[in-house]
Structure formats: C-alpha cells, structure tokens
Structure 1
Amino acid sequence: MASDPGRPYDRRCDHLSGVVRPAGPVGDGCAECLALGWSWSRLRWCARCGHVGCCDSSRGRHAHAHHVATGHPVALSLDPAEGWGWCYADELFLVESPPPGGGAP
C-alpha cells in the first residue's frame, strides 16, 4: 500500500509498515452486524488486528467504530475488485503499490 499519488498536495501515511492484504478468507462478514441480524454494504479489514467491519455506507459503520475504539489506523477494502485502503489517522486514501518491475510482463 502507498499514499494516493494523485492527490494535489504532499501528504503521506506513516502507518503502512507491514500492511499487506489478507491472503485468504477472513470470516463470515461484519461480526457486529451478524450479531445484530443486520446486513452491510461492503467490508473493511483492520490491517493491525484483522477485525472485519462494515463500511461507512453500511448501517453500523463498524470499521470506523473499530478505529475509534482501538486507534488502529488502516483499514483495507475486502472487495476483490477494490485495491485500496483508508488511513483514519491521516485521513488519507491508500492505493495498492505496483508490483516490482511495473507489473507488465
């Protein structure tokens, strides 16, 4: 992960050390929503502890609530089509870093 290079100002996130996307399944969904019998829009994965919470477009906003309760700064989207994350602490959108060599075969 890296800070979004498309931003018009020089900002960066200092919370990215060791952040990698989970390699496999991370659970059945937002645990808090499941306990309440609620549905969610999208899921976010805490890069510090692996908590799975629902996004801010969901009824519970549990990923954000997890950040507020723990201070864990970075959450990644669990949608396979979305290669991004968010740093709550720096309020900065994060994008996947290109693979070494630029990614082109």
Structure 2
Amino acid sequence: MDESEGIDASAVPDGPGCSDCSASEPSGWWLHLRRRAQCGHIGCCDSSPGRHAREHAMALGHRYVQSYEPGEDWFWDFATGRMFEGPRLAPPTSHPAEQPVPGPRGGVPLDWQTQLH
C-alpha cells in the first residue's frame, strides 16, 4: 500500500473542530476528531452523530485520516479499515488541549452518550 499518494504532509488543518458540525444549522457536536491527511479537513469520528470524517472520505476519495486528538498520532485508511504509520503532518497536530471532549464547549447535549453510534 502506498499512502503517499493520498497524503499531503504540508496541508494545514482547516480549524480546531469538525468543520461540518460547525457549519450545520443548528450546529452539531462531536466525540473525537479526525484530520484528512490529504487536505487538512477536520471531521468527526464514526462514533459522533455526524460521522463527517467518513462522509468526506466517501464523497471525495480522501481515504486517509489521522487522529486529531492530543497525544494521538495514528492514521486510519477508510478503504482497508486498517491503521498504519504515516508521516508527520503540518501543525497543529491536534485540537486545542483546552477544548473539551466531546465538543465544542457549550454545544454538546446533556444526553450525548445516548446519541453515539
């Protein structure tokens, strides 16, 4: 497998949280964040209500993501369903440490645990 074709290590993240959740009306929320290794788009994980990281992968063919959680650097391939080691990506490498999980601050419903996939 040659991940280098779908990874742009110079692509910067497009924000501190899920771009699609933030853009939706009403705004959505996420459990964990994933960073598109090809374009820097930040999406929410498969456990989140929106599953925007997977949606972006299917729509645009950007199959590789890296965790966007503090202290995590693993990559995932949506096409094969496998983890792999990848290159160091452009900073920042995670959402701000002060951002809560789930997030965003003030946007998470009280019953959030019942809404996970």
**Aligned counterpart in structure 2 of residue 81 of structure 1, from 57, 65, 71:** 71
The structure with the largest strand share of the pair is 1
2:19 counterpart letter in structure 1: A
Alignment of 1:4-83 (within 5 A): 13-17=1-5, 19=7, 26-36=14-24, 37-83=27-73
Q: In structure 2, what is the Cα distance between the partners aligned to 1:35 and 1:71?
A: 21
Is 1:95 aligned to 2:47, yes or no? no
TM-score when normalising by structure 1? 0.67
Q: In structure 2, what is the Cα distance between the partners aligned to 1:72 and 1:18?
A: 7
Structure 1 vs Structure 2 CA RMSD: 2.4
Contact 1:21 1:76 in 2 (8 A): no
SS in 2 for 1:86: strand
2:28 counterpart letter in structure 1: W
Question: Once the two structures are aligned, what percentage of the paired residues are identical?
Answer: 42
SS in 2 for 1:64: helix
Taking a change above 3 Å as real, the CA distance of residues 31 and 24 of structure 1, as seen in their structure-2 partners, is: closer
TM-score when normalising by structure 2? 0.61
Q: Deviations over 1:2-34 (max 9, x none)?
A: xxxxxxxxxxx3223584767976413111111
Which of the pair has more CA radius of gyration?
1
Q: In structure 1, what is the Cα distance between the partners aligned to 2:4 and 2:86?
A: 11
